[in-house]
């Protein structure tokens, strides 16, 4: 979960930097390393359902020298937990594939 989240966050950060460099109208608020940390912590929180642990682990892995990533971490983890609760409800355990797909589709339709 950590590696996959770090890769996704880093690729999003690099993409935003490239778009900002070429277009010039889009402002990137953070460096790509911040996106790596936020992606890593968000994926960990969503996969393991440990949001507070993910924030603490991400801050410690970042060196603890700068706490500017706390707000993006909390926002990213909140979005990741919401998406995980919509698409992967805990009641899917013990269902076959078709039943789980119907449950997820009904859950998404109810929330929209």
112, two tokens: 């929209």
Element holding 8 (H helix, E strand): helix 2-23
The most confident of the ranges 1-5, 29-33, 107-111 is 1-5
pLDDT digits (tens, 9 = 90+) for 46-61: 888 888 999 998 888 8
pTM here is 0.73
């Amino acid at each position: 979960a950590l590696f996959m989240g770090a890769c996704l966050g880093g690729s999003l950060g690099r993409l935003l930097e490239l778009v900002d460099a070429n277009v010039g109208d889009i402002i990137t608020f953070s460096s790509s390393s911040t996106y790596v940390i936020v992606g890593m912590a968000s994926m960990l929180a969503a996969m393991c359902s440990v949001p507070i642990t993910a924030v603490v682990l991400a801050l410690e892995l970042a060196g603890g020298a700068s706490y500017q990533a706390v707000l993006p971490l909390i926002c990213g983890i909140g979005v990741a937990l919401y998406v995980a609760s919509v698409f992967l409800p805990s009641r899917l355990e013990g269902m076959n594939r078709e039943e789980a797909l119907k449950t997820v589709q009904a859950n998404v339709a109810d929330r929209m």
